Amino acid sequence: MQMAIDQAHRQNVSSLFLPVIESVNPCLILVVRRENIVGDAMEVLRKTKNIDYKKPLKVIFVGEDAVDAGGVRKEFFLLIMRELLDPKYGMFRYYEDSRLIWFSDKTFEDSDLFHLIGVICGLAIYNFTIVDLHFPLALYKKLLKKKPSLEDLKELVPDVGRSMQQLLDYPEDDVEETFCLNFTITVENFGATEVKELVLNGADTAVNKQNRQEFVDAYVDYIFNKSVASLFDAFHAGFHKVCGGKVLQLFQPNELQAMVIGNTNYDWKELEKNTEYKGEYWAEHPTIKMFWEVFHELPLEKKKQFLLFLTGSDRIPILGMKSLILVIQSTGGGEEYLPVSHTCFNLLDLPKYTDKETLRSKLIQAIDHNEGFSLI
């Protein structure tokens, strides 16, 4: 990133003396409208040169005054991923039991959108931003050129994964008679069922004790590879356009996953311990003590919503709660004012409330309205 910035600065200096050299922005600028965030992002990223992906990302929402010091970027990733993963596009299949998603081989969307999602995931990692992606570990294995396994099928489709394990563990010799399987898979196709062969002449090849491991391997390969090959290839190309290179190979799949989506090892006492204070506040100030009493009494979902309100994500960085530093500062006005977050800096403006119920009411009101930017 620093090399890309330095190169842009060198080009800009040269342009002062040589008019044939154009000046360039040292940042990758995305100007998007909230109501057309996917279309606008695609339009800009389609025209973006490869070298520009290595620059720091700055996002501008049309009609909003916020300067992006990190917070606007966080909301951009939140909103665009929410939009792209919306069922209306039909790009991904949602698995109820695991609450995870995987590429849908029945989508009508072209590969450009999958390429865009890959770019967005790459940009998120590259710009130190956690995004809310409910993919299984298999996605990160494939990005690192590792093969998904039966364990990945168990994560994505638990009931099918368990059935496959039962097939492998069955101790008797009458596998063919007991399970009555052949080398096919039945898939839904817009309300109708369709039978796909996993190997050549799969419909005529019965699963028995000798070939059951081959059947399971072929089933896993179909779900994670064959059925979605072109879609994943587009995603892979977009991701590697930003994050490709030798450094990526240093990661294990679970580490790469944690870089993208953070983790949920919440330790709220650790969060309180690491919080810093500015202005009139210190750890023992009556309003601060009251704030933490109210916060620890909130249900888990409201606590996560507070993280989203203040940091732009309800998950925590790969290094855990100890690496998440919040700052609370006193603010003028009176008790009728709401707390205000500055997501770029994980900074909370907290009015000097004098009673617990007012603080609770104002805090919940604030975190329930956590989208958009305006000048205070």
CA 286 to chain centre: 38
Are 181 and 207 a contacting pair, CB within 8 Å?
A: yes
Question: Is the confidence at residue 188, as pLDDT, over 70?
Answer: yes
pLDDT tens string 309-342: 888 777 677 566 777 888 999 987 778 888 988 8
Of 41-50, 184-193, 237-246, 364-373, the least confident: 364-373
Active site residues: 344
Query: For 342, left (φ over 0), alpha (ψ -120 to 50), or beta?
Result: beta
Rounded to whole angstroms, the Cα distance separating 58 from 69 reads 8
Q: At 129, is the pLDDT very low, low, confident or very high (cuts 50, 70, 90)?
A: confident
What's residue 294's pLDDT?
Answer: 93
Are 308 and 314 a contacting pair, CB within 8 Å?
A: yes
Which has more pLDDT, 257 or 23? 257
What domains lie within the chain, and their CATH numbers? 1-145+228-261 (3.90.1750.10), 150-225 (3.30.2160.10), 268-369 (3.30.2410.10)
Which of 65-74, 284-293, 361-370 is modeled with the greatest confidence? 284-293
Percent of the chain clearing pLDDT 90 (strictly above): 36
Rounded to whole angstroms, the Cα distance separating 207 from 180 reads 7
Mean model confidence pLDDT for the chain: 85
Which has more pLDDT, 54 or 206? 206
Rounded to whole angstroms, the Cα distance separating 190 from 194 reads 10
Which has more pLDDT, 305 or 64? 305
Which has more pLDDT, 306 or 108? 306
Identify the residue whose tokens are 């090959």. 229
What's residue 291's pLDDT?
Answer: 94
Identify the residue whose tokens are 């294995």. 141
Are 1 and 126 a contacting pair, CB within 8 Å?
A: yes
Residue 179, C-beta contacts closer than 8 angstroms, at least 6 positions apart:
167, 170, 207
Interior CA angle at 60 toward 57 and 63, to 5°?
175
3-class SS shares of the chain: helix, strand, coil, % to 5: 50, 15, 35
Rounded to whole angstroms, the Cα distance separating 116 from 114 reads 5
Residue 51, C-beta contacts closer than 8 angstroms, at least 6 positions apart:
4, 7
Cα pseudo-dihedral 238, 317, 341, 117, rounded to 10: 10
How many residues make up the chain in this entry? 376
pLDDT tens string 253-272: 988 888 888 777 788 898 89
Q: Are strands 192-197 and 184-189 parallel, antiparallel or unpaired?
A: antiparallel
Q: Which of 315, 316, 313, 368 is nearest to 339 (CA)?
A: 368
Question: Is the confidence at residue 124, as pLDDT, over 60?
Answer: yes
What's residue 374's pLDDT?
Answer: 45
What's residue 288's pLDDT?
Answer: 92
The verdict on pTM exceeding 0.75 is: no
Torsion sign across C-alpha atoms 175, 178, 181, 182: positive
Identify the residue whose tokens are 């070939």. 211
Beta bridge partners of 277: 328
What's residue 208's pLDDT?
Answer: 94
Query: What distances in angstroms separate CA 269 from CA 110, 159, 292, 320, 322, one per listed residue?
Result: 47, 37, 9, 13, 10
pLDDT tens string 25-69: 778 888 889 889 988 998 888 888 888 888 888 888 888 765 555
What's residue 21's pLDDT?
Answer: 67
Q: At 304, is the pLDDT very low, low, confident or very high (cuts 50, 70, 90)?
A: confident
